[in-house]
Chain A
Amino acid sequence: MEQEALAAIEACRNREELLALRVTYLGKKGSLTAVSRGMGSLSPEERPVMGQLVNIVKDKMEAAFATKLSRLDAALLQARLAEEKIDITLPGKVFPSGSRHIITQVREEIEDIFLGLGYVIAEGPQVELDKYNFEAMNMPSDHPARAMQDSFYFSDSVLLRTHTSPMQARTMEKMAPQLPVKIICPGVVYRRDEDATHSPMFHQIELLLVDKEVTMADLKGTILSFVRAMFGREREIRLRPSYFPFTEPSAEVDISCFVCEGKGCSLCKNTGWIEILGSGMVHPQVLKYCGYDPAEVSGFAAGMGLERISMLKYGIKDIRLLFDNDVRFLAQF
């Protein structure tokens, strides 16, 4: 019976046959069960011998059933897995991918650098009083430098701000005489200019620190720190004397070219340097106008154009692309 059962188990093709076969041998009315039931008719000497024999056969059968069952299950799983095969090269579900404007991204990158240096963000109106835009910035009405910043007017005293510097005045006026004044002012500014490198509307970030004993050396250190965070650890800066009505001394800041590492290329016009921002020590007239005593406090300020920095960083040739809002351009950033 053992031989016959083991052969039958081996011959089973599926789970159902196997379970039925199990019943045939080991079920209540199974043939092996019948053998063990029939042991009552055996002699007391034969009974233990037969009992032992039945148990051995039963164990063997059980083991054979279990093995066969797990083999059949494994085969079943294999078959299912084979059937469930997919074309894994099909594209994944498409999630929409958006983007923030490059100017927003660059602005935030700069903001984050200065937040790390302890500055807070001050924002103010785009339509501004002449008083804050020019007068407080040491540009009285007949000042020739006003011509540098040709403006859009609403009335004699109201205009679109030509720079973010009026936020210097607004903030200092509000805070005086508290120290330190430590702000960055990002924002939209406007000038009557339009060509491949000038847009009538553009963005600036202003930097202002006013405190006791702030020096031009501190300005250099702060800008170097910013430039390295923004353009790479290896960057150097170069300050060139310049002129802004609201700073004295004033400096243009160049950074060592990040394309050619100073060897000379078209971006830096073979000079190895790229101009990126204007800066200087806050002009004593500005401090005075805004309620601080230039004998007691000093400060530095810097301003940069976000379009210029974006264009430099991403190799954008025409500023108008930034306001064209073509989805193929927007999707790149």
Chain B
Amino acid sequence: MRVSYKWLQRYVNINLSPEELAERLTMAGLAVDEIEYRGRDISKVVTARITDCRPHPASDHLSVCQADAGGDKKYQVVCGAPNVAAGQMVCLALPGATLPGGLEIGVATLAGTSSQGMICSRAELGIDPLATEGIMVLPANLKPGQDVVSALDLLDAVLILDLTPNRSDCLAIFNVAREVAAICGSRVQILDSKIGETSPEISSLFSLDVLDEQACPRYLARLVKGVKVGPSPLWIQNYLLTAGMRPINNIVDISNFVMLETGNPLHTFDYNKLSGQKIVVRRALEGEKLLTLDKKERALRTADLMICDGRGPVCLAGVMGGLESEVTETTTDVLIEAAAFNPALIRDTAHYFGIPSEASLRFEKGVDIEACALAAKRAAQLIAEYAGGIICRGALDVCRQKSQAKVISLNKSRVNQILGSNYSFTDIASVLQSLGFALQPQGKNLLVTIPSYRQDISLEEDLIEEVARLHGYEQIPTTLPAQSATQGYRSYTQELRRKVGLFAADLGLAEVINYSFISPREFERLLLPERHPWRNHLRIINPLNEEQSLMRTTLLPGLLNNAARNFSRRNLDIALFELGACFFPHQGEPLPKENDFWGMILSGKQTGGWYERSGNYDYFYLKGLLEALNRHLKGGLLEFVPAGKHRHSFLHPGRSSDVRLDGQIIGYLGEIHPSVTANYDIDQAVFALEIAIEPLFTGTKALREAQSLPRYPGANRDLAFIAPITLPEAEIAAAIQQSAGPYLCRLELFDLYDKPPIEQGKRSLAYNLFFQNPERTLTDGEINEIVMEIIAKAEELGLKLR
């Protein structure tokens, strides 16, 4: 809401500068975002009459004008505006003048002709930044040679308010003035509602019928006959411009002026274009159409509320008038409408047709139903005053919903109890009175009558806020809660999630956060079969776009897109992880299942440098990361098994596995299928894993009993076997473990070799075994016996001791 400082001064004495007022309003809850100064940077611009105007001899669009600026000197000015003409009163920037934005005017030569100054447009004077009509033409009755800033009363400051949704009352300048009065400790001037009426009685001329009271709780009409449509007075034009509205003609400008003043939008009809001597307020009928002011034909819905005459719709209620009944230059009789409509209905219609306006904005928020009569009177009186004509006696007024003034009981100690303050009865009462609330003491309470324009006040707490905000929140003390202390803590799961993130970062991975929405195309990119469980997803009804329309069922697409984006920027080595929720429809439940997953993606070179061989990330690097994490969490038994029946179409068939924890599948790990990486425009090998957090965490042990250290020394043995390359290492390790018995404490594969002299189809696996008995020292003989067992078992498997 744009509020002119000068306009406010019409209603209230302000003892603060615009800047001070802005600060005080902000601190009272009406945030002033910005102050726009008008007329401030203008100097040496005067009113001048164009005494002569001829086409420029050397140009087809310039004119050479002689201007009388009051003194003896005549100014020759070259002007490029198409609307310039002899006899006009204009604003002339004399040589040496300055304009808003710091523009300085001198003597110039244009197409060979000297120009002493410049004739200004509204835009150049900062009066109306969007004006395009050419030079500004002033009323002819002004005297030439006056400073335009004072002649046009331009000096003003516009406070740009960012209103909270509850304070739509301040979409009325007059209601802002009430706030200003409360802040300044002064009083507002009551709006003049005097009106000079003459016969005939409006009700003798036409009738009003409101068929839908729910949609239109109040409809009030007044008639002014014999008006002359023309420009509105400068002061009204100026005020409209400060509020960001363009002047049109006296009738429209006055209705807009009153809307800005009171917050009640008015509509004006050309009375003579209405047929049937009646107004009917009803919903549109099936198939009805209306040609609106913007010359568009609107196909109406039966939900839309219409103002109709004897024939049919003439106005889309509260949103936009019809073209046919519009007030034009030929209009003589004006019907003024002041109404209140159902806010939700207006919101719906305005949004449906995409034509929000200053009027619909106010109706959407709900207007002060009590103020309709005043607004119509103000408009009628101003029209009679500035457009001539007579005001017909009385008004047609259908107000079905007689509202009763709200009365709220306010308890003094409650105020201080909520605020932690120490306000006296007088402190509280003075604030409420300054806002125009009527008070009546009742025992320890105050009965507060809420004026109709403050629809936002309905509870005791609302009044407490009024007290707090006008005294200033800075007056509220600063304390810490006095209640007994409590212990803050992270839950076990929260702590573990934190631990996983920290550990992953310590291992060299960077955390990413991706949107929870994905594109339906991801499933095709991942080559998922028709009935893959990931395809069972939730769809957003109103997504921002199709690419963000599904809730993710996997972290993988996000991670692959991260990889692709980084590669496209030549960041070729990536190690990323994400901890986040995926969403799965939950049969029979209103809400889906949200499960947290841990995803990782690796690609490119491992960190290395000169110190060690730095190869590319691979399956085993990723597997090692997961194993390290599980060890860090003191998790259960982790196994990597071929995907089996549960095939992952998006993984390399020979380099992928299901991840099992204590026998339960918790995710997958592997190289991304080259056809899938190709779908993401990735041309390097990518490795990813995704596991469910919850089973990973349930497998962990919160507390473990400490083991005492062995007191007897152990012994190391190395064994190397030649094995068929097709035999999984895990089976060999399991066989060794099994045959070694309880004293094998550690088994480590320390070398793997499959080049000559090893026979093709075979490989050599070298293990280090560490034996220890906690009870006593093992003898060489005992260890040899165990080793023999191991070798025997290995030979059964088809292994040969190397």
Contacts and interface: CB of A to CB of B under 8 A. Distances in A.
Partners in one complex: yes
Interface of A: 90-101, 103-104, 108, 111, 114-121, 123, 125-129, 142, 144-145, 147-148, 152-155, 157-158, 160, 180, 182, 188, 190, 192, 194, 200-201, 209, 211-218, 220-222, 224-225, 238-243, 248-251, 281, 283-284, 298, 322-328, 330-331
A94 B591 contact: no
A16 B514 CA distance: 72
B418 A98 contact: no
Contacts of A90: 610
A121 B164 contact: no
Interface in B592-614: 592, 594, 606-612, 614
Contacts of A194: 544
A99 B540 contact: no
B483 A212 contact: yes
B343 interface: yes
A315 B469 CA distance: 32
B505 A100 contact: yes
Interface string B467-480: 01100011011111
Given A126-B516, A218-B481, A241-B473, A325 B166 contact: no
A192 B549 CA distance: 12
B579 to A, nearest CB: 8
A287 B571 CA distance: 52
22 contacts: A94-B607, A101-B512, A108-B498, A118-B487, A121-B490, A121-B494, A125-B591, A125-B594, A152-B540, A160-B516, A217-B477, A221-B480, A222-B481, A240-B31, A241-B468, A248-B459, A249-B418, A249-B468, A325-B512, A327-B510, A327-B573, A331-B510
B543 A152 contact: yes
Contacts of A158: 590-591
Nearest to A252: B31
Contacts of B611: 91-94
B462 A325 contact: no
B646 interface: no
Contact of A215 (B417, B512, B551): B417
Nearest to A153: B541
5 shortest A-B CB distances, which residue pairs? A96-B508, A217-B420, A215-B420, A241-B29, A243-B164
Given A121-B490, A188-B516, A248 B510 contact: no
B607 A95 contact: yes
Nearest to A215: B420
Task: Tell me whether chain A's interface is mostly helix, strand or loop, or mixed.
Answer: mixed
B771 to A, nearest CB: 33
Contact of A98 (B417, B506, B540, B610): B506
Given A96-B575, A128-B591, A182 B486 contact: yes
Interface in B313-360: 343-344, 347
Interface string B709-728: 00000000000000000000
B interface bracket (residues with beta carbon within 8 Å of A) = 35 or more
B56 interface: no
Contacts of B26: 240
Nearest to B456: A243
A325 B420 contact: no
Given A217-B419, A240-B26, A330-B512, A94 B609 contact: yes
Given A98-B510, A101-B512, A104-B513, 12 more contacts: A91-B609, A115-B488, A126-B594, A144-B364, A154-B538, A154-B539, A192-B544, A240-B473, A241-B465, A243-B165, A249-B419, A327-B566
A103 B513 contact: yes
B219 to A, nearest CB: 22
A325 B459 CA distance: 47
B517 to A, nearest CB: 8
A218 B482 CA distance: 8
B542 A251 contact: no
B576 A327 contact: yes
A186 B448 CA distance: 40
A217 B478 contact: yes
A213 B594 contact: no
Nearest to B612: A93
B750 interface: no
Given A281-B461, A284-B459, A325-B565, A98 B507 contact: yes
Contacts of B734: none
B516 A249 contact: no
A251 B465 CA distance: 10
B488 A126 contact: no
A249 B465 contact: yes
A131 to B, nearest CB: 9
A200 B548 CA distance: 10
Contacts of B344: 142
B510 A330 contact: yes
B449 interface: no
Contacts of B419: 215-217, 249
A243 B489 contact: no
A201 B541 contact: no
Interface in B31-49: 31
B26 to A, nearest CB: 6
A239 B607 CA distance: 49
B28 A215 contact: no
B462 A248 contact: yes
Contacts of B114: none
Given A153-B541, A243-B167, A91 B476 contact: no
B510 A145 contact: no
B174 to A, nearest CB: 21
Contacts of A148: 165
B473 A224 contact: no
A72 B459 CA distance: 99
B766 interface: no
Nearest to B540: A152
Given A200-B515, A284-B459, A325-B513, A249 B464 contact: yes
A261 B542 CA distance: 44
B576 A325 contact: yes
B304 to A, nearest CB: 18
Nearest to B27: A240
Most buried by A among B478, B509, B590: B478
B440 interface: no
Contacts of A114: 488
B485 interface: yes
A119 B420 contact: no
Interface in B340-386: 343-344, 347, 364-365
B569 interface: yes
B591 A127 contact: yes
A288 B189 CA distance: 41
B165 A216 contact: no
A322 B513 CA distance: 8
Interface in B761-796: none
A234 to B, nearest CB: 16
B592 A217 contact: no
A99 B505 contact: yes
